[in-house]
Structure 1
Amino acid sequence: MLPDQIGIPTALIRGGSSKALFFKDEDVPPPGPLRDAVMKRAMGTPDPLQIDGLGGTRIVTSKVAIIKTSDRADADVDYTYAQVSIAEDSIRFHGNCGNISSGVGPFAIDEGLIKTPFREGVSVDPSMKTREVRIYQTAIKKILIAHVPVHIVSGKALSKGDFAIAAVPGTGAPILMDFRNTIGGFRDNGPLPTGHATDTLQIGQKSVPVTIVDIATLTTFVRATDLGVENLSGLSAADITNNPQIVAICKEVRGKVAQLLGMCRDWELVDEQSLGVPSVTLIGPPSQDGHITSRFILNNMCHDSMAGTIATCTAACSRIEGTMVYQVMGAGTLESEIFNISHPLGIMPVKVEAAVQGKRASTISLAAPEYNVLAFVRTSRRLMDGKVYIPDDVWPAA
């Protein structure tokens, strides 16, 4: 023990193209202002450099996952996700992260949090045995399913493998993430919370068509050119984040969508009244290797690569006629089971198959939305475990 600091057990885990501090629920305060303060202090927020914490100054490295054994009959573990702001003194627990979700299964297995009998999972690599882990995501109140490669003898999660993903050097063991049961998690009103394939917003002096989608996450798809953003495929994440005009107009879109959905009263105060969601996803014509070009804006910053939830939502939206994604994607896309999304650091593929009454269909039915397949593959690796230290005056009762 240290005389003036509190040590909290944690593991630093890369999930997909993001990193997060993973905690057992029993080791952190219950939901509320104290937990918020502890998590922000662990990251070193607020500070653009996060120099006095474990955050990495990027939205992809300033994340938290809190895991516990589930009391639900349909789940093995409960997963609470938090996006910790960097320069701003804020944290939000009401979102989801597909990349970080790929680290939940391995963490739960290795920490002995799964009390249900072993269930064999689906394997992307036939040479690997997998374990199915049912994950209850507490923000969207939906079940995610992870198929985690495990060691045949020990049963522990494997990290080594031959699968490569964009934005992550090297290769790893492929973890199949099944998100088909995530429709309507935020607004509980189906895949399109307004009931429309497109809605029109007044942005500045211009009427702009958008699609608001609630699958895996709650985001707004808008053509980049409709916001005056040209050559989307040529823009890096830094190009967008460092452009105050683009950031401001995306904030206006987000604020007005939040206002439309009753999530904020004043669109100009969306950062205070509805932090993080709904987010904004800029889309454009497909690149050479992709079916669509995408740039994801979160907390007024562009994601360095592609969020798993946004990728899932984009692929799901591609099967809904009339949506902005449906209008922008490349010809012949519906014939492919793999939907390739071009992001700043490469391509993210999502396997998608729409269904009507359980039978494969080219497009989804809004009366009874259903997907037979809505999945992507990530890799994950535990980077470190031990304790993260925070000053004892942040959590005196500890």
Structure 2
Amino acid sequence: MSADQIGIPAVLMRGGSSKAMFFKEEDVPPPGLLRDRVLKRIMGTPDPIQIDGMGGTRIVTSKVAIIKTSDRDDADVDYSFGQVSITEDSIRLRGNCGNISAGVGPFAIDEGLIRKPFRVGQTTAPGLLTREVRIYQTAIKKILIAHVPIDPKSGKSLSKGNFAIAAVPGTGAPILMDFRNTIGGFHDKGPLPTGHVTDVIQISGAIVSVTIMDVATLTTFVRASDLGVWDLESRQADDITSDKELLQRCREVRGKAAQLLGMCDDWEQVDEQSLGIPSVVMVAAPPVGHSEGHITSRFILNNMCHDSMAGTIATCTAACSRIDGSIVRQVAGPGGLESDEFNICHPLGVMPVKVEAAVEGRWSATISLNAPEFKVLAFVRTSRRIMEGKVFIPDYIWPNGII
């Protein structure tokens, strides 16, 4: 190590179709400007190629996770997620990531952060032993439940398995993520924080209907056709990210939705006043002739199109499909509305979400929207520890930091 750098213990992990730097909370500064500065420098932000840090130039690889043993009776660990911008000098630490959440359980087990007694988990693969890990997500203040495959002898997590997910080569051990308890995490007003199944906003002189949903994450759903996109199924992530006019329309949708929620005063300042939240998702009917997909989706985050599909967005989309009159329900293929698995077509494949509402399979406007329940709201991901050690930053970034 050189004389003018400090080393911070870290683990690089893939969770689902994303990667993040994982830290124990004790190894990074407390919440505040110093923590933000340290995490941005670790990732090499701001820089479009993040050449001097751990970021990989994509929104799916510019992420951090901070974990600690929980003091709560109902949780094993606390988990804070950070989406680090790439070209902009910013980080959002008040959101959630379903893909990265799949890595939290294995990290907590292998780092010895769980102090509560062992609980046998559920499994999607007969004969596979799993451990239940209860995760308190600090941004949405809700409990996520991970069922992590483990080795019976060592008790450590397993990464090897036969389960495949879109956007990730090969196979891995299936981690069942239970998101039933994530309703109303941002506004505590149930799944529909505005009180309406759809809201009307005006963008660029046009009237557009949206559904704003608060399940797993705060999301604004809009028909792709209302934004002038009639071929969503053929649009790859880079195609959308390079379409600056389309991204500006998406940003206006996000800004107007944030205004409705009281999260920004001026929609044009949404990136400064409400970074990343609410997200915008363009939806359309599933591709013609597609045997699996129930809807086509493209997720816009930090004014870029997500390469595949976020676990939280997929969860929110599946939940939205169970609300009569919602934008998702209006455009989804009929097969997904009756099945207990909702399959979302994204740029790199299909992500299935298990979903079953507690009331007749779906909600309607006549049912109390403040206290809905799910029998099932879950998805399966894989995870793998890639590297462990220390990540180094210049010592002036964190004076008196860890050596």
Q: CA RMSD in A?
A: 0.9
1:177-188 → structure 2 map (5 Å cutoff): 177-188=177-188
State the match for 2:196 in structure 1: 196
Letter matched to residue 163 of structure 1: F
| Residues 1:51 and 2:68 aligned together | no
Q: CA deviation at 1:368?
A: 2.8
State the match for 1:242 in structure 2: 242
| Residues 1:80 and 2:80 aligned together | yes
Structure 1 residues 239-265: Cα deviation after superposition (integer angstroms, max 9, x where no partner): 000000111000000011111111111
Letter matched to residue 379 of structure 1: T
Structure 1 residues 12-36: Cα deviation after superposition (integer angstroms, max 9, x where no partner): 0000000000000000000000000
* Bigger Cα displacement from structure 2, 365-374 vs 28-37: 365-374
State the match for 1:301 in structure 2: 304
Structure 1 residues 376-397: Cα deviation after superposition (integer angstroms, max 9, x where no partner): 0000000000000000000002
| Residues 1:338 and 2:341 aligned together | yes
Q: CA separation in 2, counterparts of 1:180 and 1:335?
A: 19
| Secondary structure, counterpart of 2:330 in structure 1 | helix
Q: CA separation in 2, counterparts of 1:334 and 1:344?
A: 22
State the match for 2:64 in structure 1: 64
| Secondary structure, counterpart of 2:390 in structure 1 | strand
Any stretches of 5+ residues in structure 1 without a counterpart? none
| Residues 1:320 and 2:327 aligned together | no
| Secondary structure, counterpart of 1:309 in structure 2 | helix
Structure 1 residues 333-359: Cα deviation after superposition (integer angstroms, max 9, x where no partner): 232111000000000000000003xxx
Structure 1 residues 278-321: Cα deviation after superposition (integer angstroms, max 9, x where no partner): 01000000121210000000000000000000000000000011
1:1-398 → structure 2 map (5 Å cutoff): 1-287=1-287, 288=290, 289-356=292-359, 361-363=361-363, 365=367, 366-398=369-401
| Secondary structure, counterpart of 2:358 in structure 1 | strand
Q: CA separation in 2, counterparts of 1:120 and 1:127?
A: 13
Q: CA deviation at 1:367?
A: 4.8
Identity of aligned residues (%): 73
Q: CA deviation at 1:205?
A: 1.0
| Secondary structure, counterpart of 1:277 in structure 2 | coil
Q: CA deviation at 1:362?
A: 3.7
2:120 and 2:131 in contact (8 A); partners too: yes
Letter matched to residue 372 of structure 1: K
2:69 and 2:114 in contact (8 A); partners too: yes
Q: CA separation in 2, counterparts of 1:9 and 1:368?
A: 42
Letter matched to residue 124 of structure 1: T
Any stretches of 5+ residues in structure 2 without a counterpart? none
Q: How many correspondences in the alignment? A: 395
Q: CA deviation at 1:332?
A: 3.5
2:294 and 2:335 in contact (8 A); partners too: no
| Secondary structure, counterpart of 1:332 in structure 2 | helix
Q: CA separation in 2, counterparts of 1:367 and 1:15?
A: 31
* Bigger Cα displacement from structure 2, 287-296 vs 164-173: 287-296
Q: CA separation in 1, counterparts of 2:208 and 2:35?
A: 39
Letter matched to residue 391 of structure 1: P
Q: CA separation in 2, counterparts of 1:299 and 1:362?
A: 31
Q: CA separation in 2, counterparts of 1:338 and 1:286?
A: 15
Letter matched to residue 352 of structure 2: P
Q: CA deviation at 1:331?
A: 1.5
Q: CA deviation at 1:361?
A: 2.8
| Secondary structure, counterpart of 2:139 in structure 1 | coil
Q: CA separation in 1, counterparts of 2:239 and 2:50?
A: 22
Q: CA separation in 1, counterparts of 2:108 and 2:114?
A: 6
Letter matched to residue 38 of structure 1: V
Q: CA separation in 2, counterparts of 1:248 and 1:227?
A: 10
| Secondary structure, counterpart of 2:282 in structure 1 | strand
2:109 and 2:157 in contact (8 A); partners too: yes
Q: CA separation in 2, counterparts of 1:333 and 1:63?
A: 31
Structure 1 residues 37-63: Cα deviation after superposition (integer angstroms, max 9, x where no partner): 000000000000000000000000000
Letter matched to residue 334 of structure 1: L
Q: CA separation in 2, counterparts of 1:74 and 1:387?
A: 31
Structure 1 residues 126-155: Cα deviation after superposition (integer angstroms, max 9, x where no partner): 121000000000000000000000001000
Q: CA separation in 2, counterparts of 1:105 and 1:390?
A: 27
The 1:244–1:337 alpha-carbon spacing in structure 2 relative to 1, beyond 3 Å, is same
2:336 and 2:343 in contact (8 A); partners too: no
| Secondary structure, counterpart of 2:212 in structure 1 | strand
